[in-house]
Amino acid sequence: MYFKWVLPLSYWFSDLKNPSLIMLAILIFFFSHWFLSLFFHSFFLHRFASHKMYTTSKNWEKVFYVTTWLVQGSSFLVPRAYGVMHRMHHVYSDTEKDPHSPHFFKDVYHMMQHTIIIFRGFLTGKNLPDAQFTKEYLPVWDKLDRFGHHILTRLSFGAAYTAFYIYFAPNAWWFLLLPIHFMMGPIQGAVVNWCGHKYGYSNFDNGDHSKNSSPWGILLMGELFQNNHHYAKDDANFAKKWFEFDLTYFVMRGLNAVKIIQLIPVASQK
């Protein structure tokens, strides 16, 4: 009962003795964090902040912004830095100037390190991006960016994830999942950047190493259709073949239907 105050959720399970239900609570927490963080990564950071594939009202933009921060928590990716870096990735795809091409690093860890240095450089102003990458609209919310990026905010989220596991985990092995919670945003980015430009098949010749993965791509909500996406970077639908499915786009069609967002039609493709 020592951590009973930590999360309201704990009250639902306070008399719980069934180990499989306890395990279920942890798995729900883990997969909710995985998919919510990934969805807002793809839907807001990638398809809005970087590519502006839809328009929305200022209020909804703020809702998406706050939710992205909440679900990414300890590993919040500041939208303007993400957007600029991602635009660079498209222009310099798989060349030396690409901020995260797997073809210039011996492993994913070194690629991530390099990406984080560029990301921090944009945030601190030490390394300013080329003007061409800030020309298009970039969502900025200074106060939230500063608060969300602050080390104490990040540590508080980390402490909350840890508290959940202290309360629910039946043994220490479950704590191995905690680093994934701490680094959720960058880990998902690294999986997409590494695998999406290294493993899989191509539908189009884009002059780079972008690849598609199917059906595993479903776990990354459409983001692993890098080859399709590099071919038509403004098209909100990353799936191009009948056997490909882009879950993020599917949700976006729903949001478009209820008029929360307005998808911008892609007039002409290459």
Residue ranges that bind Zn ion, judged by CB under 5 A: 226
Minimum CB distance to Zn ion smaller for 74 or for 226: 226
Minimum CB distance to Zn ion smaller for 169 or for 187: 187
Q: How far is the CB of 46 from Zn ion (least distance, A)?
A: 6
Minimum CB distance to Zn ion smaller for 168 or for 194: 194
Q: Cα(98)–Cα(121) distance, rounded to whole angstroms?
A: 15
Residue with smallest beta-carbon separation from Zn ion: 226
Strand partners, 201: 212
In the numeric block, which tokens belong to residue 7? 């999360």
What percent of the chain is helix, strand and coil (3-state, nearest 5)? 60, 5, 35
Minimum CB distance to Zn ion smaller for 73 or for 200: 200
Query: DSSP class of residue 264?
Result: P
Q: How far is the CB of 75 from Zn ion (least distance, A)?
A: 19
Sign of the torsion formed by the C-alpha atoms of 9, 10, 11 and 17: positive
Of 88, 111, 76, nearest to 198 by C-alpha is: 111
Minimum CB distance to Zn ion smaller for 212 or for 226: 226
Q: How far is the CB of 142 from Zn ion (least distance, A)?
A: 25
Q: What are the distances in angstroms from CA 225 to CA 111, 193, 248? A: 20, 11, 12
Q: How far is the CB of 155 from Zn ion (least distance, A)?
A: 31
In the numeric block, which tokens belong to residue 249? 């786009």
Q: Cα(160)–Cα(255) distance, rounded to whole angstroms?
A: 31
Q: How far is the CB of 59 from Zn ion (least distance, A)?
A: 25
